[in-house]
């Protein structure tokens, strides 16, 4: 009997998500040049255990077999990203047909398997040559994004179900340019805020470029919207911290993209760091493009407090100073680590936060359909004697979060799909291969794939929704 709580609207799209650098490998094949993640991961001390994406899970060579696994699970959609350095090895100028061909074959393979392609244009692997010329702190990078987007629109055309301009520009800007824990590893607050703007601009320019080629294209962007709660809901100071984190994390992207303006409080909060003079006349009109769907990535919630300047700020004391915001002028924030179930990333398991986020977003932007474009969990899996991976904790996480999506739909949110992160264990950025998110296990020595229990559970949910009872 299908679980009635996991029964979804008829056209709800169940799929799974990955990203190019995390799975492809083949970093110097068929004309690909280095991205900022190649450089970063090869810099000693940046990635746990010195791991790199050189080989990753070899998806570039195993793509047809990986699509066959998706089909076996009954996935209806697959969200993947395109590596810009495969398409335009110099970040600008000539396009590389061998790189384009890989994604074209992938899209065909998916369509043959009846799986809808959801294509992300930027999931953090910026061509190194563009970083050398200024990266996202430079306006030229945003301008280079438009011809890159247009080339893919021409090559993949109407075979693509949904186009997503950017994945989590929050991470690209603040982790890449402020705290420096992601590529390119810069620690400069002014650069990070310039990156925020240039990523927003790239988003707008890419939508214009794709629509010029494909007027019917369905356009989206994916954000890791934050659900942040005040440590003390009665404290003005804590509420103000939440407001400032909301401005930096959520409204710095949503307001320009969906309302055509930057939040005034964001400009004021960051005045010590920048005067925002990189925003030029006409930019906000460019950024503010109609969207067909908004992608939401969700993993956890956090609790924040204003730091009083004296009390302890250590993990042992249950506090964590907010590093990325300190670089952009918000330097009195602590995250409070309350007891609760946590994943291997240390992230609190809080499915109610997903319901809250979907409802809040659909209330703020009525009429804009939402899609959960990432949700999932890292746990230390083991292969049992029977050769299987009984990843009960991940299975529970997925079940509970699907239930949370269903709760949001029941309360009126227009949610069109769920893309589970991730299809395969993969290169988890600064954590390398130490954190496994896959519903399919990958043995990193042999590249052997094993379907985990969580994947079988997910396949059952999909089947129950597609097969009349």
Q: Considering only residues 429, 433, 457, 458, which one is a binding residue for ligand FCB as defined by CB under 6 A?
A: 429
For ligand FCB, the closer of residues 246 and 374 by Cβ is 374
- Indicate which single residue of 37, 262, 379, 437 sits in contact with ligand FCB (rule: CB under 6 A): 437
- Decide whether 16 or 224 has the Cβ nearer to ligand FCB: 224
CB of 433 to ligand FCB, least distance (A): 12
Q: Which is nearer to ligand FCB, 88 or 167 (CB)?
A: 167
**Nearer of residues 53 and 99 to ligand FCB, judged by Cβ:** 53
As measured in angstroms, the least distance from the Cβ of 394 to ligand FCB is: 13
Nearest distance from residue 373's CB to ligand FCB, in Å? 9
CB of 19 to ligand FCB, least distance (A): 5
Q: Hey, which residues between 290 and 309 contact ligand FCB (CB under 6 A)? A: 297
Q: Could you say which of 374, 381, 391, 407 contacts ligand FCB (CB under 6 A)?
A: 374
Options 243-251, 317-325, 421-429, 460-468: segment touching ligand FCB (CB under 6 A): 421-429
**Shortest separation between residue 441's beta carbon and ligand FCB, angstroms:** 16
Binding residues for ligand FCB restricted to 176-205, rule: CB under 6 A: none
Identify which of residues 297 and 362 has a Cβ nearer to ligand FCB in the complex.
297
Nearer to ligand FCB, 26 or 424 (CB): 424
What's the closest the beta carbon of residue 395 comes to ligand FCB, in angstroms? 17
Give the contact letters, 11-40, x = binds to ligand FCB (CB under 6 A), - = no: --------x--x------------------
**400 is a catalytic site residue:** no
Which one is catalytic: 24, 109, 168, 356?
Answer: 168
Q: Own/partner pairs for 3-8, CB < 8 Å, 24+ apart?
A: 3/461, 3/464, 5/403, 5/406, 6/399, 6/402, 6/403, 6/406, 6/461, 6/464, 6/465, 7/406, 7/464, 7/465, 8/405, 8/406, 8/409, 8/465
96 sits near ligand FCB (criterion: CB under 6 A): no
Nearest CB to ligand FCB, comparing residues 164 and 297: 297
Site size toward ligand FCB (CB under 6 A) is 12
Residues 142-171 as x/- pattern, contact with ligand FCB by CB under 6 A: -------------------------xx--x
Distances, alpha carbon 373 to alpha carbons 17, 109, 125, 392, 421, in Å: 7, 21, 18, 22, 8
Minimum CB distance to ligand FCB, residue 54 (Å) = 18
SS (H, E, C) the chain: CCCHHHCCCCCCEEEEECCHHHHCCCCCCCCCCCEHHHHHHCCCCCCHHHCCCCCCCCHHHHHHHHHHHHHHHCCCEEEEECCHHHHCCCCCCCCCHHHHHHHHHHHHHHHHCCCEEEEEEECCCCEHHHHHCCHHHCHHHHHHHHHHHHHHHHHHHHHCCEEEEEECHHHHHHHHHCCCCCCCCCCCHHHHHHHHHHHHHHHHHHHHHHHHHCCCCCEEEEECCCCEEECCCCCHHHHHHHHHHHHHHHHHHHHHHHHCCCCHHHHHHCCCCCCCCCCCCCHHHHHCCCCCEEEEECCCCEEEEECCCCCCCCCCCCEEECHHHHHCCCCCEEEECCCCCECCCCCECCHHHHHHHHHHHHHHCCCCCEEEEECCCCCCCCCCCCCCCCCHHHHHHHHHHHHHHHHHHHCCCCEEEEEEECCECCCCHHHHHHCCCCCEEECCCCCCEEECHHHHHHHHHHHHHHCCC
Of 24, 109, 356, 374, which is the active-site residue? Answer: 374
- Is 421 a binding residue for ligand FCB by CB under 6 A? The answer is yes
Q: Which of 33, 52, 224, 300 binds ligand FCB (CB under 6 A)?
A: 224
Active site annotation includes 374: yes
Q: Which CB atom, from 121 or from 273, has the smaller least distance to ligand FCB?
A: 121
Cβ 272 to ligand FCB shortest distance, Å = 28
Per CB under 6 A, residues contacting ligand FCB are: 19, 22, 167-168, 171, 224, 297, 374, 421, 428-429, 437
Q: Catalytic site residues?
A: 168, 374
């Amino acid at each position: 009997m299908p679980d009635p709580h996991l029964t979804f609207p008829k056209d709800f799209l169940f799929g799974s998500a990955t990203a190019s650098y995390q799975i492809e490998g083949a970093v110097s094949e068929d004309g690909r040049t280095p991205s900022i993640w190649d450089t970063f991961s090869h810099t000693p001390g940046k990635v746990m255990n010195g791991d790199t994406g050189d080989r990753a899970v070899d998806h570039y060579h195993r793509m047809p077999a990986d699509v066959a696994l998706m089909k076996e699970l009954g996935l209806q959609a697959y969200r993947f990203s395109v590596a810009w350095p495969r398409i335009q090895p110099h970040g600008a100028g000539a396009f590389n047909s061998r790189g384009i061909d890989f994604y074209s074959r992938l899209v065909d393979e998916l369509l043959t398997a009846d799986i809808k392609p959801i294509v992300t244009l930027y999931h953090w692997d910026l061509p190194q040559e563009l970083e050398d010329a200024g990266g996202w702190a430079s306006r030229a990078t945003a301008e280079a994004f438009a011809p890159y987007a247009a080339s893919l629109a021409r090559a993949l055309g109407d075979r693509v179900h949904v186009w997503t301009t950017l994945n989590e520009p929050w991470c690209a800007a603040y982790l890449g340019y402020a705290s420096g824990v992601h590529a390119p590893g810069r620690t400069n607050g002014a650069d990070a805020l310039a990156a925020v703007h240039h990523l927003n601009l790239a988003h707008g320019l890419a939508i214009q470029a794709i629509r010029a080629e494909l007027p019917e294209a369905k356009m989206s962007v994916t954000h890791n919207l934050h659900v942040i709660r005040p440590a003390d809901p009665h404290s003005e100071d804590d509420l103000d911290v939440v407001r400032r984190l909301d401005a930096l994390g959520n409204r710095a992207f949503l307001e320009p993209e969906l309302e055509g303006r930057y939040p005034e409080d964001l400009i004021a909060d960051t005045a010590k760091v920048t005067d925002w003079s990189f925003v030029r006349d006409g930019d906000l009109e460019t950024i503010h493009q109609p969207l067909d769907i908004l992608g939401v990535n969700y993993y956890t919630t956090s609790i924040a407090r204003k730091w009083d300047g004296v009390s302890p700020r250590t993990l042992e004391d249950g506090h964590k100073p907010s590093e990325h915001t300190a670089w952009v002028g918000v330097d009195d924030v602590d995250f409070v680590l309350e007891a609760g179930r946590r994943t291997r990333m240390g992230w609190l398991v809080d499915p109610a936060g997903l319901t809250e986020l979907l409802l809040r977003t659909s209330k703020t932007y009525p009429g804009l359909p939402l899609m959960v474009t990432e949700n999932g969990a890292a746990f230390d899996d083991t292969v049992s004697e029977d050769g299987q991976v009984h990843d009960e904790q991940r299975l529970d996480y997925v079940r509970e979060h699907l239930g949370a999506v269903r709760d949001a739909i029941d309360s009126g949110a227009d949610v069109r799909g769920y893309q589970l992160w991730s299809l395969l264990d993969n290169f988890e950025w600064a954590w390398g291969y130490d954190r496994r998110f896959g519903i399919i296990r990958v043995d990193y020595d042999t590249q052997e794939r094993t379907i985990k229990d969580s994947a079988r559970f997910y396949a059952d949910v999909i089947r129950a929704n597609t097969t009349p009872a």
